[in-house]
């Protein structure tokens, strides 16, 4: 499209790269009442474009048109950003006002600000449970944004789960903890399930018990405002089963291992940026 083309109207929300994470957000926003007419999206493959238009009734169009949106969600993979930059740089859309919300891992706001100098830049780091609305989403807001503008972005991201305010400097730590966290938790869940099978329970019963135990433990900690050590001490009776198990975890260096795990992910995130 030539640079001077007049785009007929401006969508409220534009999504460049409507893949898994953006789709989770789109589906929930539409279910909450956002009108499909107010959303323009883009994707790379014709199959994906057709799927999005057919499933959600949103307009699927070029990145250049999508970028006219008042709020522009950037949800391509980080390595694709260079293509988007070449496409949009030095076009009129690069000078539009409004908001850019990036969920791209490891892309600093400074780079986005160079592409969109007139817009407020927000960075968010959702995690995988966001796909079912149960994510934790770290949000680094533009320092020039008003409370109202921040709240608007929180409302958008809120459909993916719990939004937590962070500074951009905390993003590598967030990536290591809540971004990579679901994989660490899944590994622990899998190991506990195998353990249940090892002591004679069926796989399905084991899964039910482990999922319930993890969800219930977190709920109890939150609702009662307990320190984890209080809960642990309450379960571990003298010479009982729990303390026998805890002794094994301590001997195996479980705490240190988990701390090293998150530190390794943090260092990796820093190195990638
Ligand atoms: N998934 C997560 O749990 C998670 C967590 C935190 C952050 N993130 C971040 O979220 C972003 C998206 O992740 P995802 O898992 O949703 O990836 P994804 O499913 O691969 O989505 C990326 C989308 O971008 C589209 N795309 C590729 N090239 C494009 C182009 N030139 N123009 C327009 N669209 C293009 C792809 O289209 P096609 O489908 O046609 O290929 C795809 O739909 C990433 O930056 C990632 O770092 C994801």
- Residue that terminates a domain, selected from 168, 198, 227: 168
Q: Is residue 255 part of a domain?
A: yes
Q: Is residue 231 part of a domain?
A: yes
Structural domains of the chain, count = 2
Q: How far is the CA of 98 from the centre of ligand 1 (A)?
A: 22
Residues 194 and 102 in one domain: no
- Asked if 157 and 99 count as a contact pair (C-beta separation under 8 A), the reply is no
Nearest by Cα to 2 from 59, 62, 69: 62
Residues 258 and 206 in one domain: yes
Pick the more confident residue, 93 or 197. Answer: 197
Residues 69 and 101 in one domain: yes
| Average pLDDT over every residue of 225-243 | 98
The CB of 63 under 6 Å from ligand 1? The reply is yes
Q: Is residue 175 part of a domain?
A: no
**Whether the predicted pLDDT of 169 surpasses 90:** yes
Domain with residue 106: its CATH number is 3.40.50.720
pLDDT level of residue 85 (50, 70, 90 thresholds) = very high
> Of ligand 1's atoms, which has the minimum distance to the CA of residue 43?
34
**Whether the predicted pLDDT of 3 surpasses 80:** no
**Whether the predicted pLDDT of 132 surpasses 90:** yes
Q: How far is the CA of 49 from the centre of ligand 1 (A)?
A: 13
> Of ligand 1's atoms, which has the minimum distance to the CA of residue 48?
40
Residues 90 and 220 in one domain: no
46 to 26, 50, 235: CA distances (angstroms)? 19, 6, 55
Q: Is residue 7 part of a domain?
A: no
Residues 80 and 192 in one domain: no
**pLDDT tens string 36-72:** 999 999 999 999 999 999 999 999 999 999 999 999 9
Residues 149 and 265 in one domain: no
Residues 92 and 215 in one domain: no
The CB of 42 under 6 Å from ligand 1? The reply is yes
State which H helix or E strand residue 33 sits in. none
**Whether the predicted pLDDT of 239 surpasses 60:** yes
Q: How far is the CA of 22 from the centre of ligand 1 (A)?
A: 8
Give the range of the structural domain holding residue 252, as residue numbers without chain letter: 181-272
Q: How far is the CA of 184 from the centre of ligand 1 (A)?
A: 22
Q: How far is the CA of 16 from the centre of ligand 1 (A)?
A: 9
The CB of 104 under 6 Å from ligand 1? The reply is yes
Q: Is residue 8 part of a domain?
A: no
The CB of 100 under 6 Å from ligand 1? The reply is no
**Cα 81 to the chain's mean position, in Å?**
18
Out of 20, 58, 63, 73, mutate this one to test ligand 1's pocket (max ligand atoms within 8 Å of CB): namely 20
pLDDT at position 273, please? 67
| Average pLDDT over every residue of 160-167 | 97
Which range has the worst mean pLDDT, 68-77, 91-100, 252-261? 91-100
In terms of phi and psi (left: phi > 0; alpha: psi -120 to 50; beta: otherwise), the region of 57 is left
Residues 157 and 185 in one domain: no
Can you tell me which residue has the tokens 């969508």?
11
Residues 25 and 124 in one domain: yes
Q: What's the rounded Cα separation, in Å, for the pair 236 and 230? A: 10
Q: Is residue 174 part of a domain?
A: no
**Whether the predicted pLDDT of 272 surpasses 80:** no
CA angle 225-227-229, nearest 5°?
A: 150
- Asked if 21 and 126 count as a contact pair (C-beta separation under 8 A), the reply is yes
Q: Is residue 75 part of a domain?
A: yes
Q: What's the rounded Cα separation, in Å, for the pair 17 and 2? A: 22
**Cα 149 to the chain's mean position, in Å?**
20
Residues 59 and 144 in one domain: yes
> Of ligand 1's atoms, which has the minimum distance to the CA of residue 182?
3
**Whether the predicted pLDDT of 94 surpasses 90:** no
Buried/exposed code over 87-112 (b: 16+ C-beta within 10 A; e: otherwise): ebeebebbebebbbbbbbbbbebeeb
Domain with residue 207: its CATH number is 1.10.3730.10
């Amino acid at each position: 499209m030539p640079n001077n083309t007049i785009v007929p109207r401006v969508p409220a929300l534009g999504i460049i790269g409507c893949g898994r994470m953006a789709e989770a957000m789109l589906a929930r926003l539409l279910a909450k009442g956002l009108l499909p007419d107010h959303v323009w999206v883009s994707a790379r493959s014709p199959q994906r474009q057709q799927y999005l238009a057919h499933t959600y009734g949103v307009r699927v169009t070029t990145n250049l048109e999508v970028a006219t949106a008042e709020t522009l969600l950037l949800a391509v993979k980080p390595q694709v950003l260079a293509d988007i930059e070449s496409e949009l740089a030095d076009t009129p859309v690069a000078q539009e006002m409004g908001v850019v919300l990036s969920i791209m891992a490891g892309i600093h706001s400074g780079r986005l600000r160079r592409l969109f100098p007139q817009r407020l830049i927000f960075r968010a780091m959702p995690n995988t449970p966001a796909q079912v609305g149960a994510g934790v989403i770290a949000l680094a807001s533009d320092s020039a944004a008003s409370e109202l503008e921040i709240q608007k972005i929180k409302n958008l991201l809120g459909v993916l789960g719990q939004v937590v305010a962070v500074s951009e400097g905390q993003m590598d730590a967030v990536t290591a903890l809540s971004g990579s966290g679901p994989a660490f938790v899944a590994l622990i869940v899998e190991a506990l399930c195998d353990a249940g099978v090892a002591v004679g329970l069926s796989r399905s019963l084991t899964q039910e018990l482990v999922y319930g135990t993890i969800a219930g433990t977190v709920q109890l900690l939150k609702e009662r405002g307990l320190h984890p050590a209080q809960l642990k001490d309450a379960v571990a009776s003298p010479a009982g089963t729990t303390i026998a198990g805890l002794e094994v975890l301590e001997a195996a260096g479980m705490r240190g291992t988990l701390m090293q795990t998150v530190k390794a992910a943090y260092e990796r995130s820093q190195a990638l940026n």
